Amino acid sequence: MKNLVYLLDAPGREFRAVEEEIGEPGPGEIRLRTLRTSVCQSDVVIWNQGLPRIRSWPAVILHEASCTVDAIGPGVSRFAVGDLVALGCDIPCGDRDCIYCGDKGTGDWTSCPNTQATGHEFPGFARRYAILPSWFVDLGPIVKFPAAIGPDLACHLEPLACNLEGMTRVNSCIENRVVVLIGSGSQGCYALQSAQAMGARKVILVNRGKSRLERALRDFGDTNTVGLAWDENIIERVREECSPFNEPHFVMVNASAEPAYRLATALMGYGTVLDAHAGVKGASGKPRIAHEIDLNTDIHYKLQCFQATHGSTMRGIGLAAGFIAEGRLPRLSRMTDASERFPHGRLLEAIKRASDPDSLKVIVEWD
């Protein structure tokens, strides 16, 4: 049968629609029909400047996807034709004996030297159909949702999973705690909704641009949420909002910029957990952002915790699947407004809309 695939020949180009032949799934494989893809900020970066992990072009990008199972190969029992599924980005390396990704591995795919990701080394979902190999079906980030959840909500699986990895890597740092979120883009808004769902005492959302902050507060704010526009007094203003505590309990960096790290480290106090969630990458690579820590007074005596998360494993995927299926983020659909929905034929416009300063989650429709 014919497949529709959108190829990106090089950064900055138009997407080129091609027809390719696609066969039936083999033993242990499944064939998916794409229903929705949403645009990650990494897709915007790939379109603008490429990515070292994409070693050969043309590329098939987009990794945030919800699909229907279109056909199953011999021996597949976990999935049936018609199932609604969503997928994660970081995937096993495909070696079933790998100590990270294999059948008996730890599941820490992102630690594997041969780690791969959908839309990077593995072709993404800018295509109508995809066949998943058996190792992906058995070990990879693919989650079945009840049909009532629908493809729009299911599509949030991957970005929400990455976010929840950051908020749960250290136990008990959100519930009944003061949470500071630096950056109110899509990861900041997932974090805000998740913190609310997890029972945070207060959430302080900090952002440089006013338009995005206003949208985040309007759509996701509540009586325990405070928004602060970033100015020269931001450290003092965040500390004031933490009162009666002297410091936040959890600080998450959701903005890919060195000043976000400077602010986060300045807010560290007694027992603060910092999640370095957004990496900083420029045209000349990954800049060094140095910060001195006293392992005795800061780490031991003040119980500070510096940690990081990027990407997601089955742990985060499982958490996100639960949050979505149980309706724990009831305002999730507000991540996408009418100006952020595009048919697949307008892929480039979708990528460009995702780079606007007020945009949260751009969805591309395939059905």
Contact positions toward Zn ion, by CB under 5 A?
40, 64, 93, 98, 100-101, 112, 158-159
Q: Which of 331, 344, 315 is closest to 156 using CA atoms? A: 331
CB of 189 to Zn ion, least distance (A): 14
**Does residue 114 sit in helix, strand or coil?**
coil
Q: Which is nearer to Zn ion, 204 or 317 (CB)?
A: 317
CB of 239 to Zn ion, least distance (A): 32
CB of 119 to Zn ion, least distance (A): 8
CB of 254 to Zn ion, least distance (A): 13
- H or E element, residue 226: strand 225-229
Q: Which is nearer to Zn ion, 54 or 263 (CB)?
A: 54
CA distance 316 to 295: 29
Q: Which is nearer to Zn ion, 101 or 234 (CB)?
A: 101
CB of 335 to Zn ion, least distance (A): 13
Query: Taking the C-alpha atoms of 92, 96, 100 and 105 in order, what is their torsion angle to the nearest 10 degrees?
Result: 120
| DSSP sequence for 241-256 | HHTTSSS-SEEEE-S-
CA distance 20 to 293: 54
Q: Which is nearer to Zn ion, 230 or 366 (CB)?
A: 366
Which burial class, exposed, middle or buried, applies to 68 when counting CB atoms under 10 A from its CB (0-12, 13-18, 19+)? middle
CA distance 240 to 259: 20
CA distance 53 to 121: 7
Q: Which is nearer to Zn ion, 100 or 136 (CB)?
A: 100
Q: Residue 338's Cα: distance from chain center in Å?
A: 21
Q: Which is nearer to Zn ion, 159 or 316 (CB)?
A: 159
CB of 272 to Zn ion, least distance (A): 27
CB of 101 to Zn ion, least distance (A): 3
Q: Which residues pair with 117 in a beta bridge?
A: 90
Query: Taking the C-alpha atoms of 336, 342, 346 and 352 in order, what is their torsion angle to the nearest 10 degrees?
Result: -10
Q: Which is nearer to Zn ion, 42 or 225 (CB)?
A: 42
